[in-house]
Amino acid sequence: MKKVLHIFSFLFSLVVLFSCEPSRAENGDFLNGVDGTGSGSGSGSGTGGGGGTSGVVKQLKSVTAKDDTGETITYNYTYTSGKLISVKASDNSVKYDLSYDGSSINKITIVQNEGTTVTTTNFTLTYSNGKFVEAKGTGTESTGSSFKNTITATYTDNKISKILSKMVGIDSADPNVSYDMFTLQSDITYVGNNIASWKFSTAFPPMPPITMPPIIITSAFSDYDSKVNPFNTLPEAYNIVSSLYGLESTAVTGFSANNYKKITVSSGTDTQSATYTYTYDADGYPVKAVASGNLGTLSFEYIK
């Protein structure tokens, strides 16, 4: 296992002990999460964060993260007629392709490239009264393995308060036989329009003689600015799915309207904190975030 707890070198990034890629879970290679993304207006493509301090509305074009080792990765966002249609990492480690039914995202395809293994997952999304209900996914690996992934969300006072992801493997010898792999859950609380706490839990089914206890990471956010959270301009449905699925994304923090300046992350007896300093453009959008302790930077570009 890599680091049990690490605050990454850019703004909206939190610890995740592993990605949801099935081969990683099966092999016990629980990886740290990376980039954070946010939520926009419901199921569609609108900018949930509204305009900046000048009233100008922008869309996120790219996010470049540089960690404390100097390693850099850029996430590029592509739009058609104002709708987000793809998100791609510069190292080709992950790509999201989005399709729409009117203004609502109805399909998301995620491709994860680990070099020796490529995993492709196709999700179909459903809604009720404009709110996300479920994303049902089927996935395959280049190794021949296959699985199903179901993601659901719960709202409290019109805010996302719970996201649940259940991964089920499909027997390669008999596709009619399935088995539970693991469950991921995010529980979120707010103060006003910003996240106050996020509890990220993982649970594994009993596999005698080994029983793994749940893994729980708790994060507390505070000292928010009054500026637009760039990740909050992205579609809510995209961020719900990417918050619990995908190697490079911990999108939960994007559910906040503004940008937090302090975070404290706890797992077991290990607790770490970081603070962030922002630089803004003339319209009040962050263009750079610097983490304390030389942990790294995050740089933003926008489309007007």
Structure tokens at 124: 């179909």
Question: What global pTM score does this model have?
Answer: 0.83
Asked if residue 11 belongs to a domain, the reply is no
Query: What is the domain count for the chain?
Result: 1
Average pLDDT, the chain: 82
Least confident of 50-59, 155-164, 201-210, 257-266: 50-59
- Higher pLDDT: 194 or 93? It is 194
- Confidence (pLDDT) at 157: 96
For residue 3, pLDDT beyond 90: no
Share of the chain above pLDDT 90, in %: 54
- On whether residue 230 sits in a domain, the answer given is yes
Q: What is the pLDDT of residues 79-114, one digit of tens each?
A: 999 999 999 999 998 999 999 999 999 999 999 898
The verdict on residue 259 lying in a domain is: yes
Kindly indicate the confidence band of residue 175, based on its pLDDT and cuts at 50, 70 and 90: confident
| In-domain check, residue 1 | no
State the residue range of the domain holding 78.
Answer: 22-303
Q: Are strands 296-303 and 286-291 parallel, antiparallel or unpaired?
A: antiparallel
- Report if residue 10 sits inside a domain: no
Residue 246 above 70 pLDDT? Answer: no
**Distance of alpha carbon 195 from its chain centroid, rounded?**
14
Q: How many Å is the maximal CA-CA distance in the chain?
A: 61
pLDDT of 166 strictly over 90 = yes
212 found inside a domain: yes
- Residue pair 62/55 in contact (Cβ under 8 Å)? The answer is no
**pLDDT score, position 44:** 53
Identity of the highest mean pLDDT range in 64-78, 123-137, 159-173: 123-137
CA angle 261, 265, 267 (to 5 degrees): 180
Tell me whether residue 166 is in a domain: yes
CATH code of residue 41: 2.40.160.190
Residues in the chain, total: 304
Tell me, what's the pLDDT at 137?
94
In a domain? residue 6: no
**Percent of residues in the chain assigned helix, strand, coil, to nearest 5:** 10, 55, 40
Between 48-52, 109-113, 196-200, the lowest mean confidence (pLDDT) is in 48-52
Pick from 55-59, 161-165, 252-256 the range whose average pLDDT is largest: 161-165
Mean pLDDT of 4-27: 32
